[in-house]
Structure 1
Amino acid sequence: MAQTARRTRGVTIIDVAKQAGVSPMTVSRVINADSGVRDQTRERVNEAIRALNYKPNMMARSLVTSRELRIGVIYSNPSAAFMSDFLGGVFEEASARAAQLILLKGKDGKAPTPEAIEGLIASGVGGILLAPPLGEMPLVRQVLRAANLPVAVVGGTAPDAISVGIDNRRAAYDMTRHLIELGHRRLGFILGNPDQSASAERLSGFQEAVREAGTAEAQIAQGDFSYASGLVAGEQLLDAPTPPTAIFASNDDMAAAVVSVAHRRHLDVPADLTVTGFDDTTAAVTLWPPLTTIRQPVLELAAEALQLLIREMRAGTIAPAGEERSRVLQHVLVERQSTAPPARS
């Protein structure tokens, strides 16, 4: 029955891809004699072409080739500052490599529906780039896994995808040590979205530095990386019977919210309260005082992930997990005017 239907409509590149167990883009590369395809994969595709008696036409070949760098970018992040830098890095790299971007945005920090993601895939993209936290959402990964497309994840962990990020644990440790060296012993920490591995890693680095100090006390409040959650967490920490003298927020948006809370309470930052953030987005330098923060090279992370994704798309096969599919970029502790030694009691 299936063979009769195939003869009626003609064998397509999708039929060949299914027969060979590869993506349609890989079949296209074999047909166009792309040298980036592995010999074993090339032979498997050619066997499927012979078995199905597939006859590509020149128009179809031209169309598929023109879409080789058609990339889907899926994002949904409550931090507007982070997303501004992320998309800036993606657009710049895509422009340099003549790649076409198709954007899909989730609402209110949530993932797009499976139907929306499937629609993006059906539009003919050859790879997918995921902004945090989407790379760690099981439903998103399940839909993309079924599509058998190269996927790159920024700022998260995904064993079956390209991943690019920083050492979040070490970065948080470095910032906490900096606060302790300034003389702070009552430290507050605002946790990020509990569903993201980066949140747990930053908390781990903070706690490790506190344990090593021995004399430091820690208070922790829950946030979700949004400015609104930083307002709530900041109020909670400053309402404590013995409030912290320094608050380290897991991103700049939440740190900016803590500065706002301090100003409402007529607390001087940093004379009365030290505040630090994480990311070094535009939010860190558009308020007073400018934030001491961890510089996460968001533009570079996005550009690096797109580079690796394009390389894999051109190769025509999904590389095995390991160093070639993972990058850890360097963070930097940037000191500005939001930090100072604690005021004398």
Structure 2
Amino acid sequence: MSSVETKTPGGAQAAAANTPDRAKVLLEVKNLKKYFPIKRGFFSKTVGHVKAVDDVSFYVRSGETLGLVGESGCGKTTTGRVILRAIDPTAGEIWFEDQDMGRVNVATLEPQQLKRLRRNMQMVFQDPYSSLNPRMTLLQNVGEPLLVNKVASGKELEDRVAYLLKVVGLRPEYMNRYPHAFSGGQRQRIGIARALALNPQLIVLDEPVSALDVSVQAQILNLLQDLQKEFGLTYLFIAHDLSVVEHISDRVAVMYVGQLVESATTEELYLRPLHPYTEALLSAVPKPDPKDRTEPIVLPGDVADPANPPSGCYFHPRCRYNDGKRCVTETPTLREVRPSHFVRCHYAGELNLVGVDGSHG
């Protein structure tokens, strides 16, 4: 398959599934898979695979934020890393509307093409303490992308780094200090400045506030929203905190055991969920009203093993709506049940599920 799509009107690639407006779609992921081999024995024979990402499809429009949520180990971070080709995918397509190369399939790009692409796709990591090189100053940490890509050097580099630090709320005179001199929130601001260095189109945010205090989380979230408006950025926001995701996301996609089980606009998904797993996640969101005594839905059993997932619907062993027949034997597909509301459940639309506000959808 070619890495760069030929823009032919009415062509096979021109009509993408589940994309309402092709002109506005920046990133489109189709049937993405990432399997890690399980090796055993003296000869390291492959005896199975961990299905970390298992047939995931979604899109992100230019200028919007898509929140990717789910329990720990569901494949959120792996999805983000595969999209950036930090990890090579096992199968699937990753179409990106690059401002320099046009519409390209990231999954099949050659190393030289990938190097060019990465200027327009950046990542902010979860841990602000380990994501920065402790032996490098702020000038070196933030300026490294500019040097590697031969964008700036010398005085021009210093001016660019000073500007980036001001943009994220730090003083330019800090550029000769080392990361250990800063708090967690300040270090995350440095990481954001580094991600902005090359004026990217897409930034993958891998739980960027989960390691920070609640008050600092709000500051970083507000900063990200301000930067999005100022620079026209597009975010893939990976998180497990649904309150945080609701605050920043335009649309939300829910993952379970490597699969995407539901996606919709934030308001639609939070108020009218269609998947039982989403309903359970929303029931655990803290309520601001102290008089609200609604008990969260406690799911029985453990999260399924991605190396040995159950038959049929992966969620059926924990689902209180499991019919014991179709749910166990037949694998559900991701389908559009309401306009722009996709869900992977046999009985989506038939169940009377409860939203985050306690009302029935």
TM range (shorter): under 0.3
Length-normalised TM-score, structure 2: 0.27
Larger Rg: 1
Structure number with higher strand proportion: 2
Structure number with higher helix proportion: 1
